[in-house]
């Protein structure tokens, strides 16, 4: 697929293709995390961000503004980096210890948690329909997590419940991080600065934990860790290209293809098959996302009520 071919497409089609490529890249990242095997999650997360540091620094060094940070954006960058780091660690832990597609689906709840955080941080009020979409998505998450106190004998054991709960925490932290990312960009901060700051902060913050939990790894594990970083970088590049080509509200729904790609890779390489409760949860969460997408794009016409 050549760049010339993509340039001949409409912005929307180009954005969709880039977003699908991004989704596949992040699905590959999840697979490589899993294939890296039994090693501390901090080491896996460190490699993921180390590759991003190298790439973002090269881009910044060649830019006119170099490494300059916009005045007033530093607090938002710190908050984005802090919650983003927790989100990455939680997501990597969940992917390494439970079904990959379950972990990725719970991480994909981040837009709903971003909507909640935006109410507080950006003073962007949600209306009744958007609140309904948030509550529906959370209900879908319950089916994926499957707590035994709700599902009885159909629920999962405590050992399996904890990784999925961590995945949910990862989705919450990612949503908060995306809100502060948006706040930084609203102040005029460059996207590549956000990536570089987050990657640097994350690597530095992980060093003490790596020292405490360090475990020697094989050459094959090292390869999978590097490929985790490479896949994540391509995912970031493609998703940036997608939203540069087309407004997020027109294409963001295609980001859920990550879960489909992850499920397929998990089935092919790891023999993972989501259970029927998880599939119901997937359908509920994706359904809530589709309805919210149609509503935000004025495709679904619902009369809004003004609250005074």
Q: What pLDDT shows up at residue 303?
A: 60
% of residues, the chain, pLDDT over 70: 92
pLDDT at 148: 66
| Nearest alpha carbon to residue 259 among 277, 241, 240, 281 | 281
pLDDT digits (tens, 9 = 90+) for 12-62: 888 889 889 989 999 999 999 999 998 999 999 998 899 889 988 998 999
Q: Are 29 and 209 in contact (CB under 8 A)?
A: no
Which pLDDT does position 33 carry in this prediction? 95
- Mean pLDDT, rounded, for 126-141: 88
pLDDT digits (tens, 9 = 90+) for 246-268: 766 677 788 889 999 999 999 99
Q: Which of 175-184, 227-236, 244-253, 268-277 has the lowest mean pLDDT?
A: 244-253
Q: Where are the domains of the chain?
A: 9-296
Read off the pLDDT of residues 189-205 as tens digits, 9 standing for 90 and up. 888 888 889 999 999 99
| pLDDT value for 152 | 65
């Amino acid at each position: 697929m050549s760049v010339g071919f993509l340039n001949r497409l409409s912005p929307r089609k180009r954005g969709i293709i880039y977003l699908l490529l991004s989704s596949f890249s992040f699905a590959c990242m999840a697979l490589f995390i899993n294939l890296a095997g039994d090693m501390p999650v901090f080491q896996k997360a460190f490699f993921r961000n180390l590759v991003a540091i190298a790439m973002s620094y090269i881009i910044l060094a060649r830019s006119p503004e170099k490494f300059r940070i916009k005045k007033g954006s530093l607090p938002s960058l710190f908050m984005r980096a802090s919650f983003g780091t927790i989100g990455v660690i939680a997501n990597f832990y969940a992917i390494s210890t439970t079904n990959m597609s379950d972990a990725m689906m719970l991480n994909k709840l981040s837009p709903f948690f971003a909507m909640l955080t935006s109410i507080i941080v950006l003073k962007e009020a949600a209306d009744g329909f958007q609140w309904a979409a948030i509550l529906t998505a959370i209900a879908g998450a319950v089916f994926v997590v499957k707590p035994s106190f709700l599902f009885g004998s159909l629920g999962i054991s405590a050992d399996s419940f904890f990784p999925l709960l961590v995945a949910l925490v990862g989705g919450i932290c990612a949503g908060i991080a995306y809100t502060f990312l948006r706040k930084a960009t609203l102040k005029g901060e460059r996207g590549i600065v956000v990536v570089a700051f987050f990657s640097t902060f994350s690597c530095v913050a992980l060093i003490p934990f790596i020292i405490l939990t360090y475990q020697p790894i094989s050459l094959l594990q090292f390869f999978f860790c590097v490929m985790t970083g490479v896949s994540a970088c391509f995912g970031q590049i493609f998703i940036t290209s997608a939203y540069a080509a087309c407004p997020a509200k027109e294409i963001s729904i295609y980001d859920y293809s990550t879960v489909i790609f992850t499920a397929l890779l998990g089935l092919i390489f790891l023999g993972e098959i989501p259970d029927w409760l998880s599939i119901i949860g997937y359908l509920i969460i994706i359904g809530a996302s589709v309805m919210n997408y149609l509503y935000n794009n004025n495709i679904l016409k619902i009369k809004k009520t003004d609250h005074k």
